[in-house]
Amino acid sequence: MKNRGLFSVLSALAWLVGIASTSQGTQQPRAFQPLTVYYVRHAESGHNVVKNWKLVPTALRPAYVGNEDAFSPAGEKQVATLTCELRTMKFDFIAASPMWRARNTILPYLKACGQKAEIWPELTETPSVHTQWLRADVRLPPPSPKLFDGETAIQLPEDEQPFFTFRKGGSRLLDLYNSDEAGRTANSLALAQKTIALIRDRYSQSGKTILLVGHGNSGSTLLRELIAIELDKPHLDNIGMWMAEEQPNGSFQLKLLNNRPYVN
């Protein structure tokens, strides 16, 4: 009888443990929800077309030629086109370079859709990073000690202020100066890596879709660092867009380049 009593107690305990396991241990793991990152380069501005006017005396050139803070006529059309295209999409978060040409590429969309973008100084234009600097046997110097400090406050015109916000600690232009190519390359890579860290910290495995608005060189460097594979410098057209999707192992896979499906 004692053995039967003990058996009954053990059976009851096993039943209770089974109930607990069913309520706790067998819960279905949360399905992987990938982060999707879109990046778009600014529309064509005056500094992009200088070479087209090199045979024309400076005094006879349109005022926008050479001006980083003005769109060319083609650039103005590009902004309108991009605004229409983006209105068919949904973004959970938007960040933009502090430069005029990047802010004003996305500004009409922000106005049309009642959204705000956060200014990320790390998305500013950087020097081009040539593939020679990405070889495993190349040792780069550390980035400039004061790269992320910044001394100049980012100024937003009054009419733009309702559509942009500043990230905490992100309201100053970064100090990109470096006297040699190796140092400039180190700075460019450091900014890309900082941007990726911000993206991962905020949105990894969130299932969200975010949009970054920046420049050609910095966008190419960011892409190469994000997907972490050997890739020749991917040229970005004005309002050219790339998209990368997070994978279960934490890497990112390139899906779109210059608005076209990317095939590796």
Average pLDDT of span 21-28: 52
User: pLDDT band for position 121 (50/70/90)?
Assistant: very high
Of 134 and 208, the one with more pLDDT: 208
Which residue reads 């593939």 in tokens?
A: 131
The rounded percent of the chain whose pLDDT value lies above 70 is 87
Side-chain-side CA neighbours of residue 82 (13 Å): 29
Task: Kindly state the average pLDDT of the residues 211-238.
Answer: 88
pLDDT of residue 130: 85
pTM over 0.85: yes
Average per-residue pLDDT for the chain: 89
Dump pLDDT digits (tens) for 153-162.
999 999 999 9
What tokens does 43 get? 């529309």
Distances (CA, A) of 28 to 32, 204, 207: 12, 20, 18
- Cβ proximity of 106 and 96 under 8 Å: yes
How are the residues of the chain apportioned to helix, strand and coil, as percentages rounded to the nearest 5?
40, 15, 45
Left (φ > 0), alpha (ψ -120 to 50) or beta: where does 205 sit?
Answer: left
Q: How many CA atoms lie within 13 A of 164 on its CB side?
A: 28
Distance CA 194, CA 95 (A): 14
As a whole number of angstroms, the distance between CA 91 and CA 38 comes to 9
Please answer whether residues 250 and 204 qualify as being in contact, where contact means their C-beta atoms are separated by less than 8 angstroms. yes
Length of the chain (residues): 264
